[in-house]
Structure 1
Amino acid sequence: MNIDITNYLRLDLVDVILVCISTLIICLVAKHFFWDVILDYFDARHKAIADDIAAGEQARKDGEEYKVQYETQLASARGEAHAILEGAAKNANEERKEVLAKAREEAENLKQKALADIEREKVQAQKEMKQTITDVAFEAAEKIIKKELDEKDQQRYVDDFIEHAGDDTWQA
């Protein structure tokens, strides 16, 4: 199967004339039956394009008006934001001062409470220490004298001992 490409690339005057005649017939048939429809379509299309252009122009004008309004609102919003920030900074400083004052007051209260607790604990420890010394003294006294004193006398001796323990009178 040999294909010769020269047959497909040839230009023949008869073929050109036949193509022109068939094109002319197609155009005449189209003009007779479809020309009004085609013109109506092009008119409608032209009107739609013109309406779109007009709407675009109107949208552009509206956009410019909105832009001016936006810039005006933006300028006023900047002023309001600045005022709000200044007010917030002022409020923050006042709150900071209040919080610091409260914290100092609470710290002082805690310090006073701690000092009171320490004093109570000190007194309690002294009482416990006296009681422990009393118990130790009772046991020592019992072992030393090998007899048990009545509790009232014992308590009196021990209390007297504890009261004077560490005093100058006790050491003399």
Structure 2
Amino acid sequence: MQQGLVQFSWTFVFQIFNTIIIFLVLRRILFQPVTNFMDERTKSIENAINDAELKNQQADELKNDYESKLDNIKEERNQIIREATKRAEERSDEIIKAAQTEAKLIIERANLEIERERQKAINLLKDEISALSIMAATKVIEKELNEEAHQAMIKKFIEEVGDEQWLN
């Protein structure tokens, strides 16, 4: 008799019964803890993913805040630079105007001084001419004037001054 792969006997029933008991025992001892472990691991991974997403959102918000603050700082920096440049230009204009005013005053003082010196030189020249004229007149008066000497002096004067000037 040839026997097949599966025979229905008490052994077969015991094998099925043992398989069910082993399945229940393994399920109780091994499958539930592994399933619980896997569920907990899944939950912890999901929590980690949620935390990571939350932190990414917070990081994005912080990034946006910092970018807006940087933009504000850049604008404020540009404003400060513009104001400082404007103040520097105004100060430069003030300094230039003050220097121009001072230069005008110096030029005016120099012109006044030149005019005073010129007037002084003219007065000095007049005084010297007067002194020379008086000396010359004194010499002429001291010298004995006769008609002939008097005529010679007039003739000499006319020659020196010139006929045209004398006639005008």
Q: TM-score, normalised on structure 2?
A: 0.43
Q: Which has the higher contact order (CA 8 A, sep 6+)?
A: 1
- Choose 1 or 2 for highest CA Rg: 2
